[in-house]
Structure 1
Amino acid sequence: MTTHHTTGPAPTATVSVKPLVLNAPQRGEDLHVRITAPTAGTSLPVVLFAHGFGSNLDGYAPLVDHWASGGFVVIQATHLDSKRLHLPADDPRRPQMWRYRVQDMRRILDELNTLEASVPGLEGRIDHSRIVAAGHSFGGQTAGILVGLRVTDPQTGAEDLSDSRVMASIQLATAGKGGDELTPFAHNNLPWLRDQDFSHIAAPGLVVAGDKDDLPLSTRGPAWTADPYTLSRGNKSLLTVRGGEHFLGGISGYQATETTDENPDRVALVQQVTLAYLRHVTGIDLTDWKNAQTVLTGGHPLGRLESK
């Protein structure tokens, strides 16, 4: 793996359209959606991407642009926790933030034909049978729930909110198991992390974890973010990014102020491995994924890729 395009498809031009607005009375705010797509190609698979806590549909350009230029239609929404929406601290929707995010994603899938027709030149070019959910941090949990991660709601217990329209997932720097491993802050403020059950996730998935991602949510240190891999069933892969902190070198945006470990090589690694995985899991091409598995064995300075 190098930091420039030596393998994979030649990047194609992309177009991005926003905001596409879906009426969503049950969430109290219209749902704003952005679609980034290649200008050419047909039977294009979809990546449904969920942003991290506080972000919005304009985030994560390094990943979104790379995936779209590699042949994928990338769909992003602005979720209720976005700083753009300024929800007050006592807003009654806050404890259910995790649930509204999943509903946002399902709403997008329900309205995919409408959204597709709203992007000039896109109609008829999407393959609705190949949809991968992806997300960073809080968004990684959202993607996980769509493929079978079960979150225990204090009121209703554990629920299965998976969606059969989603074939696989990519979870980047995502929360692990809850219970007594949570810090008091996480236990008190993020009730959706208290009890997460990864054992029902049968769909294929790639987990990306930074080995320096020491979040203030768990007492276990960086290994916590590998739980979505270690605690779920087979047909999963784990990319461990060496030296990677929570933003994995800067995946949330170029020169983004929240990035604590800015590193273009790290971002390029995540770009290349995730695109190779997307092409592999949607059946487009296996070569780049096999190449990544070969190259990223124990001694590679940027990262390690393992599968089960």
Structure 2
Amino acid sequence: MPRRPLTSVRHPLWRIAALLGLLWTLAACMSPPQWAMAALPSQVRPDDSFSTLDLAWQDPTRDRAVPARLYLPSSAQTAPVPLVIFSHGLGGSREGYSYIGRDLAAHGMASLHVQHVGSDRALWQGNRLTTALRLMQAAGDDEAVARVQDLRFALDQLLASDYARQIDASRIAAAGHSYGANTTLLISGAQVQRDGETLQFRDPRIKAAVLISSPPFYGEPDFSPILQPIRLPSLHITSTADVINVPGYHSEAIDRIKVFDAIGSTQKLLAVFKGGSHSMFTDRLNTGGAELNPMVKQATRELVRLFLQEQFHLPAQRMALTTWRDRHAAILDGLRQGESPTALMRP
């Protein structure tokens, strides 16, 4: 392949996004547009323990809007709270993964859900015949980089806003699902070699990572050189049916496990649920099975909270990992730990 500028969608950096397994959402174009639109969650209603704030930021250096939704605990009014910054999957929005954001906020952790306008729910709008093309363009190299820049910009804005005094800037984690998981990998320290150049987007403010259904780096036979530089504590969540199956691209659930194995940090935990689907971790209600879906969501939000409580040193309401495993044994296929687990991961 001829060498091209980084801004060209045909540059090999395309593999970071388009060939990461992010094209799973192309399957959506084979169904009515309601398939995607029905997945969008309704307006989140605030709870007494937290408030829900929609933010509309604009990055002037990139001429790019960066909308976000902040779930802010009421306890932040008296003492700064930890923060999780969340990146949605291809075709998602700031409204997504509300079951995680609400739960974290209800337990004393702020959750900032960033909307990536180049790969958000607007992809589902317009001519159905060109949906596939829009998705392909959204998975280009420019958008892969822009997503990481979105997270950095959102952090900059929040920590310079009136809400800054309510956020503990020393306790920040990144999280994401699918495309968002790969965005999280990049901001956590993943490094890609292209044309003799090391591409890396690590943000030192990120202290831990939550990776849900993280796709592999297609075209890369060995994940280790890419993911070994990630030394942050990480939580990985998947299922035995977390399969990406798109014409031209196929990825079995074992690929999520390969990502876990390749991560450099030994402080890591992998949870694998039985059955399900790649999209059941979104706010959609029936994917992966009408009965299984809510049970997996309950177990997922509990485990994310448990992991982050340990990372952020929040002992209140902490659930032991063994207790979590026993509670969800019926839907859990396996639980793996790193070689040098944190206190959270010890029985």
| C-alpha contact 1:152 1:195 (8 A) present in aligned 2 | no
Which whole-Å CA distance do the structure 1 matches of 2:220 and 2:202 have between them? Answer: 26
Task: Give the TM-score normalised by the residue count of structure 1.
Answer: 0.79
Q: Residue deviations 1:144-189, cap 9 Å, x none?
A: 1111112455x774412111100000000111242267xxxxxxxx
| C-alpha contact 1:38 1:72 (8 A) present in aligned 2 | yes
Choose which of 221, 229, 243 in structure 1 pairs with 2:252. Answer: 221
| C-alpha contact 2:224 2:263 (8 A) present in aligned 1 | no
Name the SS of the counterpart of 2:180 in structure 1. helix
- The two structures, once aligned, show a CA RMSD in angstroms of 3.0
Name the SS of the counterpart of 1:111 in structure 2. helix
Matched, 1:168 2:208: yes
Which whole-Å CA distance do the structure 1 matches of 2:278 and 2:74 have between them? Answer: 32
In structure 1, stretches of 5+ residues that fail to align are 1-10, 182-193
1:63 is displaced (CA, Å) by 1.1
227-236 vs 53-62, which moves further: 227-236
Matched, 1:110 2:144: no
Equivalent runs, 1:17-166 vs 2, <5 Å: 17-18=53-54, 20-41=55-76, 42-79=79-116, 80-84=118-122, 89=134, 94-115=140-161, 117=162, 122-152=163-193, 157-166=197-206
1:212 is displaced (CA, Å) by 0.7
Aligned residue number for residue 211 of structure 1: 240
User: Per the alignment, do residues 23 and 224 of structure 1 end up closer, same or farther by CA in structure 2, a change over 3 Å counting?
Assistant: same
User: Per the alignment, do residues 12 and 167 of structure 1 end up closer, same or farther by CA in structure 2, a change over 3 Å counting?
Assistant: farther
Matched AA of 1:40: S
Task: Give the TM-score normalised by the residue count of structure 2.
Answer: 0.71
Which whole-Å CA distance do the structure 1 matches of 2:220 and 2:164 have between them? Answer: 49
Aligned residue number for residue 314 of structure 2: 284
User: Per the alignment, do residues 294 and 62 of structure 1 end up closer, same or farther by CA in structure 2, a change over 3 Å counting?
Assistant: closer
Matched, 1:201 2:230: yes
User: Per the alignment, do residues 202 and 161 of structure 1 end up closer, same or farther by CA in structure 2, a change over 3 Å counting?
Assistant: same
In structure 2, stretches of 5+ residues that fail to align are 1-46, 126-130, 339-347
Name the SS of the counterpart of 1:84 in structure 2. helix
1:95 is displaced (CA, Å) by 3.1
- Structure 1 consecutive aligned stretches of length 4 or more whose deviation exceeds 4 Å: 85-88, 90-93, 217-220
| C-alpha contact 2:230 2:263 (8 A) present in aligned 1 | yes
Matched AA of 2:306: A
Choose which of 222, 245, 248 in structure 1 pairs with 2:277. Answer: 245
Q: Residue deviations 1:172-228, cap 9 Å, x none?
A: 0111242267xxxxxxxxxxxx99811111011001011111112654511111222
Which whole-Å CA distance do the structure 2 matches of 1:163 and 1:63 have between them? Answer: 23
Name the SS of the counterpart of 2:241 in structure 1. coil
Q: Residue deviations 1:261-280, cap 9 Å, x none?
A: 34211111101111101101
User: Kindly, what percent of the aligned residue pairs are identical?
Assistant: 21
Aligned residue number for residue 4 of structure 1: none
| C-alpha contact 1:12 1:40 (8 A) present in aligned 2 | no
Aligned residue number for residue 3 of structure 1: none
Which whole-Å CA distance do the structure 2 matches of 1:92 and 1:276 have between them? Answer: 33
User: Per the alignment, do residues 261 and 150 of structure 1 end up closer, same or farther by CA in structure 2, a change over 3 Å counting?
Assistant: farther
Which whole-Å CA distance do the structure 1 matches of 2:138 and 2:51 have between them? Answer: 37
